[in-house]
Structure 1
């Protein structure tokens, strides 16, 4: 059986990439004792790749390998273009730089997310596409790459479109977060310090604790009255620090990658110093649950 794969010759890098993937198929099949002949023919606007299985009994295996190679090529080379096409057609409000950021978010979600659309888990889409291609090759000996992507992958494109929307939501949340950080930083820079030094302790598995320079706990109850709207612990910590406006904060923590800790470091920037272990913080940053 001879399979003909038609590729547009506009992108030389795509042709090289696809040729490498075909020869990977050739090598994998050869290790299994299956002989596959591959040759190509260059035309003015396209490149034809021919794959011939010497023995028909191996056709199913060959189709499966070709399906995987074509699926990887579509996801690796065409997917970014599909994402950008969707953004330009359906989300015209973003700038070119924002398109690139959303594109990166979308690709990351596609490769790592367990979310799904139309029973297609994002990160399993390669397997779905591979099966679709192999099924197509079982009924046709000619495979047109552009035609297949455009006319036979509607569910795939809908899956990508849904993931793009999730990436946009993630981007907007990130933008709102950065705006929040920027406004807080601007507010802090405008304030005259009321306190020279504050210690912020972060015990393992517990809430953060605020102490004055003299080692006296700063009680949140001293700042809020009963009529104050209930706040989360993290909001109360930030509000307390904004209230006392320290010149310097020493943050005693071993967990700098936690989201709230990273937020504090961004907000207070040059005013905050991170301590990962000292005599002052030893009694505060350890707990029964600390195994380090």
Structure 2
């Protein structure tokens, strides 16, 4: 009967690292291999630290002719663990490097905001318009891409330099992160332009004297609005000086320009917003522009006339 020997299945090399980092990755690999429930595979994991690098070793007690089968069984678990490690510990630095080095954003606050857009919008959910993206979760799909690439690399050579893999074998993954960063930067720029425009409108509202005491903004549903004066008559913005509209609202801003333009033109001292949908974007925008001049009405006689009956709650909420 042939004697079983301890044989190395895989070795992962990490350059310029510290023991807690190596210990954590070793535990992660061990946990992933345990999920495979390989009953017949007696494997062990240990690491060695050197001055310039560290090595994590996956070994098995097996006869030599059985080693390839054991290697194949452990391969996917090791690749999944390394893929998760890359995404957890390397993805954020990679994104920040792209944002600062390739897209030239050096202000820390800007970089933080852009990375936040990446995380909130695209890292978990795929970009539907992109041909690179698939229909499943962005994170799960990226992990699968990494895992598949790691499997190929480990099949070629059981000793893997993780730093070399990240540098030379992750181009598709980096291209996707680059695309995510581009989308996030576009959103960052649009949001900044929008906020600058809102600030400009706030300034014009601030310097203008009130021209009428009250305006009632009636939101009849969807994108249907009417604006009434204090006598509940339709307001004709043409009766007021419209120079502001021509000079300021010639902007490519994606919200209901006409409503905002009319309100700024007639410059009411108070705006009562009658709506069943106070969280609608245009209503939030109006409240942001006119600030303490606005009151959102959930139910009143005017609501009853134009919007129909509703529960009498939150009658006037500032």
Shared fold per TM-score greater than 0.5:
yes
Distance of aligned partners of 1:203 and 1:270 in 2 relative to their CA distance in 1, 3 Å threshold: same
| Alignment of structure 1 residues 249-260 onto 2, 5 Å | 249-260=271-282
1:203 equivalent in structure 2:
220
Moved more, 134-143 or 106-115: 106-115
The answer as to whether partners of 2:13 and 2:54 remain within 8 angstroms in 1 is yes
| Alignment of structure 1 residues 187-226 onto 2, 5 Å | 187-219=204-236
In structure 2, stretches of 5+ residues that fail to align are 1-7, 310-318
Moved more, 62-71 or 105-114: 105-114
- Supply the RMSD in Å over aligned alpha carbons: 3.1
Instruction: Name the SS of the counterpart of 1:49 in structure 2.
Output: strand
Moved over 4 A (4+): 11-14, 53-56, 115-118, 120-123, 219-225, 228-233
1:113 to 113, 122, 126: 126
TM-score (ref. length: structure 2): 0.77
TM-score (ref. length: structure 1): 0.83
Distance of aligned partners of 1:219 and 1:67 in 2 relative to their CA distance in 1, 3 Å threshold: farther
Moved more, 12-21 or 43-52: 12-21
Residue 240 in 1 paired to residue 257 in 2?
Answer: no
1:146 equivalent in structure 2:
163
| Alignment of structure 1 residues 99-178 onto 2, 5 Å | 99-108=111-120, 109-115=122-128, 119-121=132-134, 123=139, 124-178=141-195
1:90 equivalent in structure 2:
102
The answer as to whether partners of 1:223 and 1:240 remain within 8 angstroms in 2 is no
Instruction: Name the SS of the counterpart of 1:215 in structure 2.
Output: coil
Residue 42 in 1 paired to residue 49 in 2?
Answer: yes
Return the offset for 1:185: 0.4
In structure 1, stretches of 5+ residues that fail to align are 288-292
The answer as to whether partners of 1:198 and 1:250 remain within 8 angstroms in 2 is yes
Instruction: Name the SS of the counterpart of 1:203 in structure 2.
Output: strand
Return the offset for 1:42: 2.3
Instruction: Name the SS of the counterpart of 2:224 in structure 1.
Output: coil
Distance of aligned partners of 1:93 and 1:218 in 2 relative to their CA distance in 1, 3 Å threshold: same
2:86 equivalent in structure 1:
74
Distance of aligned partners of 1:49 and 1:197 in 2 relative to their CA distance in 1, 3 Å threshold: same
Return the offset for 1:238: 0.5
